[in-house]
Structure 1
Amino acid sequence: MQQAAIEKAEALVEAHRYIQRFKDKIVVVKVGGSVQEDERKLRDLLTDISFMSAVGMRPVIVHGGGKAITAAMEKAGLKARFVQGRRYTDRRTLEIAEEVLVNEINAELVEHLNSSGSQAIGLHSMASCVLFGERLYLRDDASGEKLDLGYVGQVVDVNTVLLNALCEDEFIPVIAPVAISRTTSDEGVWKLNVNADDAAGKVAAALKAEKLVMMSDTHGIRTDPKEAESYVSTLTRAEIDSMIKSGVIGEGMLPKVDACLTALRAGVPKAHIIDGRIPHSVLLEIYTDAGIGTQIILE
């Protein structure tokens, strides 16, 4: 028992250096994957984020909700359709996505954080939206023709004034991935479904955050997709570029890696991809020497 107490004390001493270093620094945390669908794991993660806020860090959360949206569409008798990995979003799909993201997931995250003693506030397309976007069009690989994705967008601007003010007042902003469009469609629609990974990268870049942390369902990035234990602790942007070109980093990880590179190019010192299924993974990555998962740096 005494040894266990000593180890806990040593962990606190180790964490103290990082607590001092990251005091008043902004960290953007992208919450998604299976941790978002597991009530216990989600509560544990949000408790950890509340701890980060309590010791002086300024967390900003961006969340996803893809599986919940698909389930809600099926319940409504609609079939989800994807174009090059992006959800085709007509007007009805957008309405369902907004309902799920804002009134269910965002509200739940805010409630959990507030019940942990934090001050959290939901920022979304129904109130105080901080994401602004434009329609996203992709190209067909074979024909080169432009592909219509419906009301799918990409983030082009972030309301950093509001976000910085909330962080200074020790609120935890919780951002849903629906953006306000710069133009209104012929149907009168002025909102866009945006990719949560991309949104997190853009938010971190705009805020000049200290870190971007992407929660995933893997331990990090593998140097060999066939080797389960080939995870690497640190990668540079050049190494990432090489792994993308060689196909080592596949489609599933690519959106997260792209978000990390977006943040790094804007001056964010480090981005991290960690396994949200591991208890306290975000604290282990930020407040310990060894860390956990893969950190990405410029060079």
Structure 2
Amino acid sequence: MSEQRLELLREALPYIQRFKNKTFVIKMSGKATEDHANLLSLAEELALLHQVGIRICVVHGGGKQLTELAERLGVEQTIINGRRVTDDATLEVAKMVFAGKINTEILAALRHRGVEAVGLSGVDGNIVHAERRPPKEIINQETGERERIDFGHVGDVVGINDRLLRVLLDHDYLPVISSLGADSEGRIFNINADTIAAEVAVRLQAEKLILLSDVDGLYLRPQDPSTKLSRLTVEEAEALLRDGIATGGMIPKLQSIIDLLRRGVRSAHIIHGLTRNALLAEVFTDRGTGTMIVA
């Protein structure tokens, strides 16, 4: 074993001690789970975190896989301003893909690494209590027209019931939650996975919310690697919004993270879901790999 590797172990020790028995909520995008080799690699990193006593809860979406299966089944998809309209047929496909295919594949990858994971959707144990999103007036970015859009079976989170999650975490299970929820009538909704992950993190008063994204952090100028923000406080993040420095897709991301940290989560991280060891580096090294926003 090289000297460098041993030094890395030493560097990791204070973090291992600090995070033992703390809760991390980790959100996996569809892109992170779609490539089998990448999923196995991520499962290994999750297993390591789990092994050193960190309580892990995974939340996943799978928009890309939903779109692909819908195409194969001939179910037409409508996406407006990056948001999917979930009609009856799309909801059927979403149930298959989220609570079925992707969830089971994540469980199998974790099983391969000896982790006792439990697959859930937000409907299990009433974890995600949701209500139907009302039709909204929006400006369609493609046409520039003002439109009233009914997103169909898309839900907004009303509350999180963490009782089942706590039972599992207290007994060393690793819950894996897909992005469905239901209302008290039992109507099922497709819900944004980032939103579920954020609300679960707040409810569990998590140490960290880690978003495995298709970018490796936040950039002041999207195409310029030298403008990556490695570490921010809530106040600095608010200043970026206030002074108009944050633009485009960065604005809603920052807004939701600021809200999350104000509600008790200790830190939020945006890291690349397709980079080997990005998760371990973010948790166990001083430098990290992505953007960390701290309360």
Normalised to the residue count of structure 1, the TM-score between the two structures is 0.90
Letter of the 2:82 counterpart: G
Q: State the partner residue of 1:10.
A: 7
The residue that corresponds to 1:78 in the other structure is 75
Counterpart check, 1:240 vs 2:242? no
Change in 2 beyond 3 A, CA 1:40/1:256:
farther
Rounded to whole Å, the distance in 1 between the matches of 2:68 and 2:62 is 10
Task: Give the partner amino acid of 1:34.
Answer: K
Q: How far apart are 1:143 and its partner, in Å?
A: 8.8
SS at match of 2:158: strand
Q: How many residue pairs are counted as aligned between the two chains?
A: 289
- Residue 155 of structure 1 contacts residue 199 of structure 1 at CA under 8 Å; is this kept in 2? yes
Whole-Å separation in 1 of the counterparts to 2:273 and 2:288: 13
Cα displacement string for residues 100-146 of structure 1 (whole angstroms, at most 9, x for unaligned residues): 11110001101111121011000115644521111123332489875
| CA RMSD in angstroms, aligned pairs only | 2.1
- 1:287 aligned partner, one-letter code: F
Matching residue of 1:139: 137
Does 2:66 align with 1:64? Answer: no
Q: Indicate conservation of the 8 Å contact 1:50/1:118, yes or no.
A: yes
Kindly indicate whether the alpha-carbon contact (under 8 Å) linking 2:11 and 2:284 is maintained by their aligned counterparts in 1. yes
Counterparts of 1:210-225 in structure 2, within 5 Å, are 210-225=207-222
Matches within 5 A, 1:189-268: 190-244=187-241, 246=244, 248-251=246-249, 253-254=250-251, 256-268=253-265
Identity %: 36
CA distance in structure 1 between the aligned counterparts of 2:58 and 2:28, rounded to whole angstroms: 7
Gaps of at least 5 residues in structure 2 are: none
Please name the residue that 1:187 is paired with.
none
SS at match of 2:15: helix
1 CA distance for matches of 2:265 and 2:65? 31
Deviations 1:200-245 (A, max 9, x none): 1111011100000001121200012242331011123343344446
Classify 1:80/1:242 alpha carbon distance in 2 versus 1 (closer, same or farther; 3 Å). farther
Q: Distance in 1 between matches of 2:126 and 2:42?
A: 24
The residue that corresponds to 1:123 in the other structure is 120
Structure 2 vs 1, CA of residues 173 and 258 (structure 1 numbering), >3 Å: closer, same or farther? Answer: farther
The secondary structure found in structure 2 opposite 1:149 is coil
After superposing the two structures, state which structure 1 stretch, 17-26 or 155-164, moved more: 155-164
1:19-76 deviation line (CA, Å, top 9, x unaligned): 1110110000001153222211111111100111111001100011001000111111
In 1: Cα distance, 2:252 partner to 2:105 partner: 25
Which runs of no fewer than 5 residues in structure 1 stay unpaired?
Answer: 185-189
